[in-house]
Amino acid sequence: MRPGEGDAATAEGPAGSPMSRRHLLTRIAPLGALGIVAACSPDGARDRHGGATGRPLALVYRGPAGCRGCSEAVAALLESAPSPFRVEYCGPDERLSLTGATLSAAAVYAQPGGGDDLAAAWTAMRPHAATLRSWIGEGGRYLGFCMGGFLAGADPGLGILPGDSGEYVGTVGATVHDDGDASVDVAWNGTRRAVYFQGGPYFSIAEGDAATVVARYSNGLVAAMVSAYGRGRVGVTGPHPEAPASWYREAGLAVPRPLPFDIGYDLVGRTMQA
């Protein structure tokens, strides 16, 4: 959650120079060229399955529950995935509002990283909670990165996980002890990877639930997972596999080689599975 402001994808990653996640986004011009009329028209609606453009539509939230550059990094990950998406931003100051009509045209909705205040983020997202739950339950796909993972949990949150989200910092055996920039080692599909991290969540799973654990922190807590919600699917991650090299460099962290975009693509692919 520490991004550049609307930077284009580069060879070093899906976003450019970072700024602190604590500088909440207020208004950034939308990257996408299409407006609400196109997205919600019958032709635009076909983009949910790629019929109109060949690429399914991914809606990425951009607004006060996010942070500057976090939305753009998620968008770049989705646009560069092996099965790429066409990305549009949605939010209070975007061309597209977060409504049922907008969601009906989308294959996936992504909630990016945000500030360090879950209560404030929930205040911004609570008016949309029922709409999001209904859309996901009817077959939509939700991707949550860091704050987006927190918001997938409950009390406060959307309540779309088979358990809850909690703060990894301060848990027994945690390797990170504050909300500053860090790199965490996770076992992603059993392979150790170093991933950018800034105050992200871990996830609990109700006993007996069939959720898929994708990654664990070194203390065994769940770092990324995919689960069902009604007829839809929810994929969440505490660390930031979408982080470009500039996020690591500005924080004085070693840049992983290769950058872990592949595990971000893995989370996206698992979430999109039927």
What's the CATH number where 182 sits? 3.40.50.880
Q: Is residue 264 situated within a structural domain?
A: yes
Q: Is residue 8 situated within a structural domain?
A: no
**Burial (CB count <10 Å: 0-12, 13-18, 19+), residue 211:** middle
Q: Is residue 64 situated within a structural domain?
A: yes
> Tens digit of pLDDT for each residue in 47-95?
555 555 689 999 999 999 999 899 999 999 999 999 999 999 999 999 9
Q: Is residue 109 situated within a structural domain?
A: yes
Q: Is residue 81 situated within a structural domain?
A: yes
Structural domain total, the chain: 1
Q: Is residue 47 situated within a structural domain?
A: yes
Average pLDDT over all residues of the chain: 85
> Tens digit of pLDDT for each residue in 148-198?
999 999 999 999 999 999 999 999 999 999 999 999 999 999 999 999 999
Which domain covers residue 161, as residue numbers? Answer: 36-272
Q: Is residue 110 situated within a structural domain?
A: yes
Q: What is the pTM of this model?
A: 0.84
The pLDDT assigned to 241 comes to 98
> Tens digit of pLDDT for each residue in 130-152?
999 999 999 999 999 999 999 99
Q: Is residue 27 situated within a structural domain?
A: no
